[in-house]
Amino acid sequence: MKKLIALLLAAMMVLSLAACGSKTESTGNTESTSAEASEPAEAATPAESTESTPAAEPEAAKLTTVTEGKLTVATSPDFAPYEFYAVEDGTPRLAGFDVALAGYIADYLGLELEMVPIDFDGVLMELQTRNVDLGMAGLSPDPKREGIMDFSDIYYQGGQSFVTVKGNEDKFTTLEQTNDPAYQIGAQTGSIQVDLAQTNSPDAEIIQLAKVTDIIAELLAGKLDGAYIETAVAESYAVNYPELAIVLDVPYDVSGSAVGVIKGNAELLAAVNEAIAAAIADGSMDNFVAEANELASGEIIEGLLN
Ligand code: ARG
């Protein structure tokens, strides 16, 4: 049955490619497609990526961006392994899988990448004020943000956690226990973690800080009792700061990260989605995540923690 579906899919792709070919160009696609079509099951994904690559060129030609020829991307590098400063030979360099994906998207669209590092609430503001084309900052596609940006497809699945320090694990064995007026609980300004804090710990004092790295520093200094942090980020900082304790999974119904796209640029949104699909299909996305995790476990900038 699986095989039959794969064959059907493959046949459909040959047909749609043939249709494409007759409209515009007649590339050598038929040859490579039929080779892939004869392969079982997995054929569908790689065939798609070979189909989308040549389509990128005409797409790029009609893209409008904030600065012509450039893809301007705001990011908030306090968020390993998504984006952070890796220190190599004493020099900080912007790194992380969002940064790598931004490079991939820019290449795919034939645009020069310009990254704009800024605090997270600044990323939202830059998009809203139309200063940047994209925001790539582990952005949750929160419906409340739909008035100020469009969202791409999801490119990474992550979760939410409640974090404290070693020794305090016993105080937080349920989310209800975080809801105590005695507690000071951190969340990043402008983030959905503020909503999570208000939902789950409404009686606690919720402290909003501009940088996740500040939240981690305050946790380690004992100034915060706990904090709401993206799970992958908490896990990443816990490698360098083993005093952190990730104690609870926090339910949140808008799962995953999307690219924030300047509102109303439908061509750019479609092109970004195409690039994301290609990065997932050709294995690049998995590599970006693996590389970022590796890099984030090494020396990352400490300055942000001061
Ligand atoms: N996913 C959360 C949100 O969209 C937090 C993102 C924070 N990103 C960052 N780079 N600090 O609100």
Candidate ranges 31-35, 41-45, 85-89, 234-238; pick with highest mean pLDDT = 234-238
**Confidence bin at 90 (pLDDT 50/70/90):** confident
* Cα(196)–Cα(175) distance, integer angstroms: 11
Work out which ligand 1 atom sits closest to the CA atom of 78: 11
- 112-117 and 70-75 strand pairing: parallel
Mutating to test ligand 1, I would choose from 97, 118, 188 the residue with most ligand atoms within 8 A of its C-beta, which is 188
Strands (E), the chain: 70-75, 84-88, 91-95, 112-117, 134-135, 150-156, 160-165, 184-188, 205-209, 226-230, 244-250, 257-261
**Confidence bin at 47 (pLDDT 50/70/90):** very low
In the predicted model, what is the mean pLDDT of the chain? Answer: 84
- Residue 62 CB burial class (10 angstroms; 0-12, 13-18, ≥19): exposed
- The closest alpha carbon to 95, from 288, 304, 267, belongs to 288
List, chain by chain if needed, residues with CB within 6 Å of any ligand 1 atom.
76, 78-79, 82-83, 120, 137-140, 188, 191-192, 212, 230
- Burial per residue of 218-244, b for 16 or more beta-carbon CB atoms within 10 angstroms, e otherwise: bbeeeebbbbbbbbbbbbbbbebeeeb
Angle at which helix 284-296 crosses helix 266-281, to 10 degrees, equals: 80
Region 114-123 average pLDDT: 97
Work out which ligand 1 atom sits closest to the CA atom of 191: 12
pLDDT score for 62? 79
Q: Ligand 1 centre from 221 Cα, in Å?
A: 23
pLDDT score for 304? 52
> Where do the domains of the chain lie, and which CATH numbers do they carry?
60-156+256-301 (3.40.190.10), 160-250 (3.40.190.10)
Q: Ligand 1 centre from 270 Cα, in Å?
A: 23
- 33 within 8 A of 47, measured Cβ to Cβ: yes
* Cα(236)–Cα(234) distance, integer angstroms: 5
Q: Ligand 1 centre from 189 Cα, in Å?
A: 9
pLDDT at 305 over 90: no
Q: Ligand 1 centre from 137 Cα, in Å?
A: 6
pLDDT at 34 over 80: no
Mutating to test ligand 1, I would choose from 94, 144, 230 the residue with most ligand atoms within 8 A of its C-beta, which is 230
